[in-house]
Amino acid sequence: MIFVNLPVGNLDASINFYKAIGFDNNAQFSDETAACMVWSEAIHVMLLTHAKWRTFTDRPIPPAGSSEVALAISLPDRAAVDAMNAAAAANGGTADINPVQDLGFMYSRSLADPDGHVWEPFWMDPAAIPPGDQPG
């Protein structure tokens, strides 16, 4: 399992954003300082208020507009990638913060949550990778 921990400025707004792009809230691991947002059995995102974040580290929270990590997440098809970006834009996030990538066998778009955390929803069909581009 992986738990991605993200500092957020407005916990309620962040919960609503992550629900809108397809995550579920696990109330068992949520309170007024944190919310556990579930993508799958293996992937959880912990949204932490700035005060809660600071109980884990003294390192500064990156300022708005900076990028520390981009979290790529696989979706079942191109339409799901487009839908996630549309939901992000309609719910306090920013869609297409980087150029759309369409390589035929892979399609991705980038979005930012309300705090500027970067997500890259993508779809890929490994069987469609041109033979000369195969890894190995």
Residue 15 lies in a domain: yes
Whether 73 and 52 map to the same domain: the answer is no
Q: Is residue 28 part of a domain?
A: yes
Same domain, 52 and 75: no
pLDDT, residue 45, reads 97
Give pLDDT tens digits for 95-119: 999 999 999 999 999 999 999 999 9
Q: Are residues 86 and 122 in the same domain?
A: yes
Residue 49 has pLDDT above 90, yes or no: yes
Q: Tell me, what's the pLDDT at 126?
A: 84
- Return the CATH number at 40: 3.10.180.10
Q: Are residues 38 and 76 in the same domain?
A: no
Which of 92 and 62 is assigned the larger pLDDT? 92
Q: Using 50, 70 and 90 to split pLDDT, how confident is the model at 135?
A: low
Average pLDDT, the chain: 93
The least confident of 30-39, 57-66, 95-104 is 57-66
Residue 129: CB atoms within 10 Å: 15
